[in-house]
Amino acid sequence: PGCALLLCQALISGGLGALAQDSSFLAVTRDEMAASSQLQVDEVEKAAVELLKGRETLQGTRTGSAPLDTSAVAPGRSPGLRGSPSQKNIAATRL
């Protein structure tokens, strides 16, 4: 859910909206991102949720707009980034 939303946004902004509609393409892309980053898929999902939360905060601060709906993400799936960033968190943030 979090990763799929980020991928969809990137594909649409790049003019590839048709690919954003292909759930199997999104799943394969997520899996390949995880593999190339040497992360587990759940770590990629957690990083995506954190990125969405960061965007939500920035959008709310800049425009006063309503936050993005991340309710599709299962509860408890994102513990957040705590303390100093680990190597995994740094790699995930680069996604």
Quick: pLDDT tens for 46-56: 999 999 999 88
Domain that holds residue 32: 2-62
Residue 24 included in any domain: yes
**CB distance 26 to 8 below 8 Å:** yes
Specify if 42 maps to a domain.
Answer: yes
Type of residue at 60: G
Is residue 93, in this structure, part of any structural domain at all? Answer: no
Assigned domain for 11 exists: yes
State how far the Cα of 37 lies from the Cα of 81, in Å rounded to an integer.
Answer: 18
Task: Identify whether 9 is part of a domain.
Answer: yes
Rounded to 5°, angle at Cα 5 from 51 and 72: 95
In a domain, residue 50? The reply is: yes
pTM: 0.59
Domains of the chain: total: 1
Asked if residue 12 is part of any domain, the answer here is: yes
How many other C-beta atoms can be found within 10 angstroms of the C-beta atom of residue 85? Answer: 12
| Helical residues (DSSP H) of the chain, grouped into ranges | 2-13, 17-20, 23-36, 41-63, 87-93
d(CA 85, CA 92): 10
Residue 86 falls inside a structural domain? no
pLDDT digits (tens, 9 = 90+) for 26-82: 999 999 999 999 999 999 999 999 999 998 888 887 765 555 554 444 434 333 333
